[in-house]
Structure 1
Amino acid sequence: MPRAGALRRATPEDNVLSQTIPAAASAAAKVAPMTPQGPAAETDVTSETLLARILASLDDDKAEDVVTIDLRGRSSVADYMVVCSGRSSRQVGAIAEKLMDRLKEEFGRVCKVEGKDQGDWVLVDTADVIVHIFRPEVREFYQLEKMWMPGAAGFGAGRA
């Protein structure tokens, strides 16, 4: 969903890797499970609520090295990006499948998904949060998080 001022060009200063959401936020989402609300509730869900549920789902399914990147004010594509790993192609696919099932059941949110059949890198687009689930070797190869760090190559950072 486009936001006002979404056409602003990103600068190296904009690309700061956010802090990972504290474990307490993830634990709070587990303590107070969300109830099924049906498809009509999809528009009522904030990106922060959605993010908390996504992080809880990833934790439930033993996703590893979960990193949350705050995109608010820097991208009109989504508010957050989450990058994580599964130990095998089978686990990567299962994490994605469970996440989509939970979001559909609890929020009525139908997610777009790419790469689930191969299981090397699955992208789950929830509209407000984009989730990348990798096998460790594939994640290391693409190094997606580094694109969002200050001074990353490709963003015109000063080099000697």
Structure 2
Amino acid sequence: MAAAAADSKQAEDLVALDVSGPLPLTDIFLLATGRNERNVVAIASEIEDRLIEHGSKPLRREGRAEGRWILLDFGDLVVHVFHEEDRMYYSLERLWKDCPVVPIDLPVRESAE
């Protein structure tokens, strides 16, 4: 659901990692990239709104004011929405490279031809 919400706001490079082994407090990291600060905030807002609509409450939010790296902590799921430069700089995929990637099934977008 979080990945679909991110995708609906044109998030790029969606990756879900199973971090339940090394991190006992959470199960999944969802990583997403926005093209600019406004897009990063829009992606994070859409994810938060959709999860709240379905009964999940965020335990913590960080980074909304800057719009460069927004972290949304929903307990079992932690969402990281990055500006593309920050995503490359922090490279969480490299840090958590030993964690399994969780497949993300997204609906196919229709092209605007």
Do both proteins adopt the same fold according to a TM-score greater than 0.5, normalized to the shorter chain? yes
**Match for residue 73 of structure 1 among 3, 17, 21:** 21
**Percent identity at matched positions?**
37
Question: Which amino acid counterpart does residue 92 of structure 1 have in structure 2?
Answer: V
Q: Which has the higher contact order (CA 8 A, sep 6+)?
A: 2
Structure 1 residue 132 and structure 2 residue 80: aligned? yes
Which residue matches 1:155? none
Aligned to 2:63: 115
- Corresponding residue to 2:6 among 58, 68, 83: 58
Which range is displaced more, 68-77 or 78-87? Answer: 68-77
Deviation at 1:98, TM superposition (A): 1.4
User: What is the number of residues matched between the two proteins?
Assistant: 97
SS of equivalent to 1:139: helix
Bigger-Rg structure (1/2) = 1
Q: How does 1:24-39 map to 2 (within 5 A)?
A: none
- Secondary structure of 1:78's match? coil
Q: Which deviations, in whole Å up to 9, do the C-alpha atoms of 1:3-58 show, x marking residues without a partner?
A: xxxxxxxxxxxxxxxxxxxxxxxxxxxxxxxxxxxxxxxxxxxxxxxxxx111111
3-state secondary structure, aligned to 1:103: helix
Aligned residue type for 1:81 = F
The structure richer in helix per residue is 1
Q: Report the aligned-residue RMSD.
A: 1.1
1:73 Cα deviation after fit:
2.8
TM-score normalized with structure 1 length = 0.58
Structure-2-length-normalised TM-score: 0.81
Structure 1: 5+ residue runs without aligned partners?
1-52, 151-160
Once residues 66 and 141 of structure 1 are traced to their aligned partners in structure 2, the CA distance between those partners, rounded to angstroms, is 16
How much has 1:77 moved relative to structure 2?
A: 2.1
Q: Which has the higher strand share?
A: 2
